[in-house]
């Protein structure tokens, strides 16, 4: 019972002791070698479970087989329930050790000495179906002292080690958690500006929250218990997916043509992202050297003299027609020169806007690649725990 921190086993106990003062000569009593008497009608060493969760009378409705040589035997079957501190730290791959302490609290070690006659045997085929299986057991004997008593008492302790059957939880929690983390990794395969990336990431985040709810539902509710490592891993996965989702929002805002800034990135940002992070995440400098060259050409083109900041309408010069202006003093050659200048200005504006957008898109790719590198480091830890539980 993990909820109440109890373990219950059905035990077949066999106690034997010698009391020569109660022996008799069988020839004088019609060759009676042995007989049975109620346990309450004769002296017993009062050996019972010292750490029970409930009071059990081990002598109630039981009989003692008395032999003529003073040998006594008390055999009975009973349910032994003992407190057990279930440590859920490694749930659902936990292993617990519970103890059953047998001894006499009435007679001291000078009056009753307990000796283990036969080994403790576990009859696993006849166990009730449960979520644990027995791993091993140890038996030790030592004198103990109780608070308030000066004399010592003999005691036998049976330590049982049990292990949880975790196959069910592997298919319910571990493998789904592994698949969700693998799917989270595929988010980086989508373009930074793809809206589907946000929808996909949000769906994965919802699935991981559902997995956490399923895990909590199967976790035994115990006050004061530590949160299992598997719960930490699932929450860790949720944080990683949330991190990827936030990075996706940032990269989409940067790379989207409707939301990117109309100004170029600040010089300090350019030096950090284009100069250091690009090399760190493995992007070749050739990928953004063209952008820098275009920016330099743009600045050189802006040295041309401009009379107006806005582009004037282009005058038709096709079919040999003469230009029509309000000022009859302007010659056709001046009109053509002005139109060419306007075309250059508009082209420069277009190139400027295009280069600004390309720089922000490149910045989004660098951030996306950097987030992928960070994600892979933590992703390795998560997958390792899911697959190898370390």
**pLDDT tens, position by position, 341-376:** 666 665 655 555 556 666 777 777 777 777 777 777
Per the model's pLDDT, the better-predicted residue between 217 and 128 turns out to be: 217
Predicted TM-score of the model (pTM): 0.62
pLDDT at 388 > cutoff 70: no
pLDDT at site 266: 66
pLDDT at site 95: 86
Q: What is the mean pLDDT of the chain?
A: 73
Label residue 11 exposed, middle or buried (CB < 10 Å: 0-12, 13-18, 19+).
Answer: middle
pLDDT at 382 > cutoff 50: yes
Mean pLDDT, rounded, for 30-42: 85
- Cα–Cα distance measured from residue 163 to residue 96, given in angstroms and rounded to the nearest whole number: 6
> Other C-beta atoms within 10 Å of 383: how many?
17
**Run of H or E residues at 271:** helix 267-272
Closest CA to 53 of 15, 23, 85, 14: 85
- Cα–Cα distance measured from residue 380 to residue 372, given in angstroms and rounded to the nearest whole number: 12
High-pLDDT (> 90) share of the chain, %: 1
Each residue's pLDDT tens digit, 231-264: 888 888 888 888 888 888 877 777 665 555 566 6
Mean pLDDT, rounded, for 121-143: 73
pLDDT at 41 > cutoff 50: yes
pLDDT at site 300: 41
Label residue 264 exposed, middle or buried (CB < 10 Å: 0-12, 13-18, 19+).
Answer: middle
pLDDT at 284 > cutoff 70: no
Q: What is the 3-state secondary structure (H, E, C) of 5-38?
A: CEEEEEEEEEEEEECHHHCCCHHHHCCCCEEEEE
Mean pLDDT, rounded, for 59-74: 84
Mean pLDDT, rounded, for 1-13: 78
Each residue's pLDDT tens digit, 74-88: 888 777 888 888 888
Helices and strands (H, E) in the chain, number of each type:
8, 8
- Band (pLDDT 50/70/90 cuts) for residue 297 is very low
Q: Would you put residue 215 in left (φ > 0), alpha (ψ -120 to 50) or beta? A: alpha
pLDDT at site 206: 92
Closest CA to 222 of 136, 130, 96, 133: 96
- Cα–Cα distance measured from residue 67 to residue 69, given in angstroms and rounded to the nearest whole number: 6
Residue keyed to tokens 């997958």? 383
Mean pLDDT, rounded, for 151-178: 85
Per the model's pLDDT, the better-predicted residue between 339 and 46 turns out to be: 46
As a whole number of angstroms, the longest Cα–Cα distance in the chain is: 159
Look up residue 89 and give its two tokens.
Answer: 């730290």
Phi/psi for 200 (5° steps) reads -65, -45
pLDDT at 322 > cutoff 80: no
- Per-residue DSSP letters for 210-268? HHHHHHHHHS---TTPPPPHHHHHHHHHHHHHHHHHHHHHHHHHHH-TTTS-SSPPPHH
Label residue 344 exposed, middle or buried (CB < 10 Å: 0-12, 13-18, 19+).
Answer: middle
**Run of H or E residues at 143:** strand 132-145
- Band (pLDDT 50/70/90 cuts) for residue 304 is very low
Helix (H, G, I), strand (E, B) or coil at 181: helix
Length of the chain: 390
**Interacting residues of 95 by C-beta distance below 8 A, sequence separation 6+:** 135, 161, 162, 163, 164
pLDDT at 291 > cutoff 60: no
pLDDT at site 320: 43
The radius of gyration of the chain's CA atoms, rounded to the nearest angstrom, is 43
């Amino acid at each position: 019972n993990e909820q109440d921190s109890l373990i219950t086993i059905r035990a077949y106990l066999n106690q034997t002791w010698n009391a020569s003062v109660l022996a008799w000569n069988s020839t004088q009593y019609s060759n009676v070698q042995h007989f049975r008497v109620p346990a309450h009608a004769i002296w017993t060493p009062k050996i019972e479970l010292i750490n029970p969760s409930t009071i059990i009378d081990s002598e109630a409705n039981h009989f003692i087989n008395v032999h003529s040589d003073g040998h006594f035997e008390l055999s009975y079957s009973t349910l032994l329930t003992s407190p057990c501190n279930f440590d859920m730290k490694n749930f659902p791959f936990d292993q617990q050790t519970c103890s059953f302490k047998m001894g006499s609290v009435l007679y001291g070690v000078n009056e009753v000495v307990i000796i283990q006659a036969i080994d403790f045997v576990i009859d696993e085929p006849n166990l009730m179906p449960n979520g644990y299986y027995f791993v091993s057991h140890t038996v030790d004997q030592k004198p103990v002292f109780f608070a308030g008593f000066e004399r010592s008492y003999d005691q036998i302790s049976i330590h049982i080690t049990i292990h949880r059957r975790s196959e069910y939880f592997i298919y319910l929690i571990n493998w789904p958690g592994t698949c969700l983390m693998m799917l989270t990794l595929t988010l980086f395969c989508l373009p930074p500006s793809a809206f589907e990336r946000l929808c996909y990431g949000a769906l994965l985040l919802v699935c991981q929250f559902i997995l956490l709810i399923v895990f909590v539902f199967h976790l035994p509710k115990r006050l004061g218990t530590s949160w299992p490592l598997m719960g930490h891993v699932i929450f860790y996965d949720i944080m990683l997916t949330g991190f990827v989702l936030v990075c996706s929002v940032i990269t989409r805002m940067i790379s989207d043509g409707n939301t990117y800034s109309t100004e170029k990135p600040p010089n300090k940002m350019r030096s950090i992202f284009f100069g250091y992070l690009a090399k760190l995440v493995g992007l070749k400098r050739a990928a953004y050297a063209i952008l820098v060259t275009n920016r330099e050409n743009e600045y050189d083109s802006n040295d041309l003299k401009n009379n107006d900041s806005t582009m004037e309408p282009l005058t038709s010069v096709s079919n040999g027609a003469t230009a029509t202006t309000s000022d009859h003093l302007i010659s056709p050659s001046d009109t053509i020169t002005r139109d060419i200048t306007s075309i250059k200005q508009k082209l420069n504006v277009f190139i400027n806007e295009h280069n600004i957008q390309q720089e922000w898109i490149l910045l989004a790719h660098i951030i996306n690649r950097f987030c992928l590198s960070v994600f892979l480091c933590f992703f390795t830890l998560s997958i390792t725990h899911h697959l190898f539980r370390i």
